[in-house]
Amino acid sequence: MKTIVLKVEYDGTDYYGFQKQTGNENKTPTIQGKIEAALDKILGRHFDTKGSGRTDSGVHAFGQIVSVQIAPDFNLRITPEGLKRLLNNKLAPDIMVKSVNIVDGDFHALGLSKVKSYAYIVKYGAPDAFTGRYCWQVNKEIDFNRLKELIPMFKGDVFCAPFCAGDVDENCMESYYKEIYFFRFYKIKKRSTIVFIIKARGFLYKMVRRLIGFLIDYSTGRFDLQTAKKVMADYKLRSLYITAPPNGLFLYKVKY
């Protein structure tokens, strides 16, 4: 058995996320659907793909890993470089295969991942016509000392139920604790830009976007530190902050 492993970069603006939808790909196009369609044409047979992360609609990726398990009865003759070239010829310009590896045995892009890194970009200066697809434009004044004060609280074993979307299952609250290995922000003053980097083994649904929204709300004075700590302890207070939009979020890197 062999597995094709792709490293894929994409602009998610015009797609309904990475994962295929139940509807028509022509109406609700996805990254996974486009990759599988291209593989079908090249290989002459359908193979399911697995992604390292299910990025939402409008979210981008620098390093999405996609695995394709090849059936034992299929004679895979194409070289990795040849497959990369053919895929990029068939995919739209906003989806690009950066590398192709063919490995022996089974490799699951999601199940074997150890650390995922996400980047989120916030622009706080004057708006322009070019960066809106790839950042969140914040027009309020940001207090960077407030960011420095709060962000260290999100490291280690963190209760993340207050930062996920959807219903919270009170019968398995332990599943809402996530080990966050790294969470920092970098201020790029010349570009009036903040880049957040967060690394963890796994993330809850919309967790990164909600964390960024919470941090930006605190840094712009929407609530005080006492309220922030209450939100961090109680998922029922999620309505007190906003969720950052998808266009600033990038799946940055996956380690195995």
Q: Name the residues annotated as catalytic.
A: 56
Which residue carries 């492993």 as its tokens?
A: 5
| Cβ count near 90 (within 10 Å) | 17
Residues 217 and 21: their CA atoms lie apart, in Å, by: 32
Q: Give the integer Cα–Cα distance in Å for 30 and 174.
A: 32
Tokens encoding 168: 């919270």
Rounded CA separation 173/192 (Å): 39
Q: How far is CA 160 from CA 146, 148, 173, 179, in A?
A: 20, 19, 10, 10
Work out the number of other CB atoms within 10 angstroms of the CB of residue 135: 20
Q: For residue 176, what is the DSSP state?
A: G
Are 174 and 199 spatial neighbours (Cβ–Cβ below 8 Å)?
no
Structural contact between residues 164 and 206, judged by C-beta atoms closer than 8 angstroms: yes
Query: Tokens in use for 103?
Result: 């490995």
Please, how many CA atoms are within 13 Å of residue 125, restricted to the half-sphere of its CB? 12
**DSSP secondary structure letter of residue 138:** -
